[in-house]
Amino acid sequence: MKSPLQRHPVFTWVRSLRSKILLSHLAVIFIAAIITSFSLLSLAESYFLNALENSLISQAHVITQSLLPQLHIEAPDPQIGQAFNAIQQQVIGNLNVQVIAPSDLLENKAASPLSNAELNSLRDITIELSSTIETRFLLIDQEGSTVISSADLDLEPYKEIPATQDAFSGQITSSVEKIKDEEWLFVATPLLQQDETVAVLLLGHPLRDIAAVLADLRTRLILAVGIAIPLASLLAFSLSRNLLRPVNVLADAARGMQAGVFDIAIPVERSDELGQLSRTFDSMRNRLLETEKLRTQFISDVSHELRTPLTAIKGLTESLQDGAVEDPEVRDRFLASIERETDRLIRMTNDLLTLTRVDAGGMKLKLESLDLRKLLEDTKTKLSPEAKRRGVQIQMELPKTPIMVTVDHDRIDQVLTNILDNALKHSPADEEILVTLRDANRKKQDPNPSSGSYPASLMDEAFKPTLRSGPHVVIWVQDRGTGVPAEDLPHVFERFYRADFSRSRDHGGSGLGLSIARAIMDAHGGHIQLLSPSPDWDGSGNPGATVVLVFPTGFPNF
């Protein structure tokens, strides 16, 4: 029993398939947005840092060539073209510095590595950056002392900065350091003279502008995600509703079928997997509807069939109780009728049991190799007393050589007995029943000149629709009765179906014989068909009927 919480609408919605689809879509979109945002921020930060690093390296080239021409940087010059002059004007032209005249620097171009006097001279140069330029630079000698500094930076000792340490090893490196709670990017470039690192030029630039750009980008991304999530929610809700509409239709149909309502139309508007599911479900519904109709009809037919003999037995019993038992002749006649109706009930019960096993897939076949000729002769012998009583002759046209098939003896005997018994019941007196056995694999059939036999060409044409590819044999059972109306032929193998009054309960049948025969033939991989009128009917007399039985000789590979 569900708790009140489980019956709550919110709990029900959370457990629904729609909520799972909706939440899964939102989760995917949210995770994708977060990953994209972090990736974009990371790429932007990396791009800005790389751009600033390249700019600082370019400035290092400018400063080195302008202030220290006797030194050089062991790195390719930046490919900046005309922008080089702009950077030079921005970085150097805006510097309020006192520098050695270019002519004086050129005179020292061939000098030896920096002497103490030269370092002292450079140290005395006063350099002040203009208020519009935030880049700071320092010249650090091999001892770690600051030779030139454009500003006082609270980052002593400078030689301990990782970038400076790597630069003294001859590498141009960069690192991010924090000065007074503010991050700076430092680029250290080694200054070489005669392939020896004599100093390091350290340039630094605050990252507040990049941080501001990234903060603005972060705000925009949060705003974009905040707008995208509701829109994605609406889209996911609409998508889940459209996606689940066929499922809801199927669920409603299933609930209706559970309540016994099968005539529910299921529209199929899609060509995807859900459309295939709808078509399959609709096919199942039609099968269930047909099965339900057959079940209802079957129960009605069984009730009707059982009521007739039971009513007769009850009436006869009451008559005997009312005094008919005193008359020996009446008593014997009534008892014979009771016995006949009881036998009919037993046959019907056995037939119903057989059909139940067939429907449940429980018909077990005991296959063995048999000669159909002998099986037909045994059936004729068994029914000869009944044929003699009715004044009907059973003629058989059988090949001289054995016709071997792999079948269940008892089941095929049941089929042949039912077919011949029906033919006897519906054949007028002084008529004959013709049974023909033919091996369809043989080019020439054994001659058996009988006035009632079918010409081979007539059989081939008449029964061509019933024959199958592969090795098989055919049995034709032809009677000269009243035949079966054309409108009844498609239904003769249905349970409890009777074509007309002449094939009614007066003959003592249960209405299940042909249904059982078809089930047994299908289990053997064979085929049964009823033709009426008989193919050789010339238009005079009764049209008759012919039952065609097709047996595979290579069962089960039929």
Query: In 10 A of CB 504, how many CB atoms?
Result: 12
CB crowding 162-199: b at 16 or more within 10 Å, else e = ebbebbbeeebbbbeeeeeeeebbbbbbbbbbeeebbb
Which neighbouring-strand residues pair with 368? 407
CB crowding 276-294: b at 16 or more within 10 Å, else e = eebeebbeebeeeeeeeee
pLDDT number for residue 203? 85
Q: What is the mean pLDDT of residues 471-491?
A: 85
The helix/strand/coil state of 449 is: coil
Ranges of CATH 1.10.287.130 domains, the chain: 273-356
Ranges of CATH 3.30.450.20 domains, the chain: 21-214
Closest CA to 435 of 392, 391, 482: 392
Q: pLDDT per residue over 105-115, tens digit each? A: 333 333 334 45
Q: Are 64 and 43 in contact (CB under 8 A)?
A: no
Residue 225 scores a pLDDT above 90: no
Q: Which of 41-45, 245-249, 368-372, 384-388 is least confident?
A: 245-249
> How many CA within 13 A on the CB side of residue 246?
18
Residue at 387: amino acid letter: A
**Strands (E) located in 412-481:** 432-439, 472-479
Average pLDDT taken over every residue of the chain: 74
Place of tokens 């059909």: 355
The helix/strand/coil state of 423 is: helix
Q: Please, what is the Cα angle at 483 between 480 and 487, to 5 degrees?
A: 165
> Cα separation of 362 and 353, whole Å?
11
Q: Say which CATH superfamily domain 365-552 falls into.
A: Histidine kinase-like ATPase, C-terminal domain (3.30.565.10)
CATH of domain 21-214: 3.30.450.20
Q: Higher confidence at residue 252 or residue 538?
A: 252
Ranges of CATH 3.30.565.10 domains, the chain: 365-552
> Cα separation of 307 and 294, whole Å?
19
Distances (CA, A) of 289 to 145, 247, 282, 357: 98, 20, 10, 22
Sign for the CA dihedral angle at 92, 96, 101, 107 comes to negative
SS3 per residue for 255-306: HHHHCCCCCCCCCCCCCCHHHHHHHHHHHHHHHHHHHHHHHHHHHHHHHHHH
pLDDT number for residue 14? 61
Local confidence band at 470 (pLDDT 50, 70, 90 cut-offs): low
CB crowding 129-145: b at 16 or more within 10 Å, else e = beeeeebbbbbbbeeee
The helix/strand/coil state of 540 is: coil
Q: pLDDT per residue over 367-414, tens digit each? A: 999 999 999 999 999 989 888 988 999 999 999 899 999 999 988 998
> Cα separation of 385 and 382, whole Å?
7
CA 359 to chain centroid: 30
The helix/strand/coil state of 368 is: strand
Tokens of 248: 């809801």
The H or E element containing residue 318 is helix 273-321
The helix/strand/coil state of 24 is: helix
pLDDT number for residue 351? 79
Local confidence band at 161 (pLDDT 50, 70, 90 cut-offs): confident
Number of H helices, E strands in the chain: 14, 15
pLDDT number for residue 127? 43
> How many CA within 13 A on the CB side of residue 33?
19
Q: pLDDT per residue over 129-144, tens digit each? A: 434 457 777 777 777 7
* DSSP structural state of residue 80: -
Q: What is the percent of the chain where pLDDT is above 70?
A: 73
Q: Are 520 and 438 in contact (CB under 8 A)?
A: no
Local confidence band at 159 (pLDDT 50, 70, 90 cut-offs): low
Residue 35 scores a pLDDT above 70: yes
DSSP 137-157: EEEEETTS-EEEESS--S---
pLDDT number for residue 326? 83
Local confidence band at 471 (pLDDT 50, 70, 90 cut-offs): confident
Closest CA to 54 of 85, 23, 76: 76
Q: What is the mean pLDDT of residues 328-357?
A: 84
Q: pLDDT per residue over 503-535, tens digit each? A: 444 555 567 788 888 988 988 888 898 888 777
Highest mean pLDDT among 374-378, 421-425, 440-444 belongs to 374-378
Q: Which of 121-135, 418-432, 516-530 is least confident?
A: 121-135
Domain 273-356 has CATH 1.20.120.80: no
pLDDT number for residue 73? 60
Distances (CA, A) of 55 to 61, 87, 93, 258: 10, 9, 16, 77
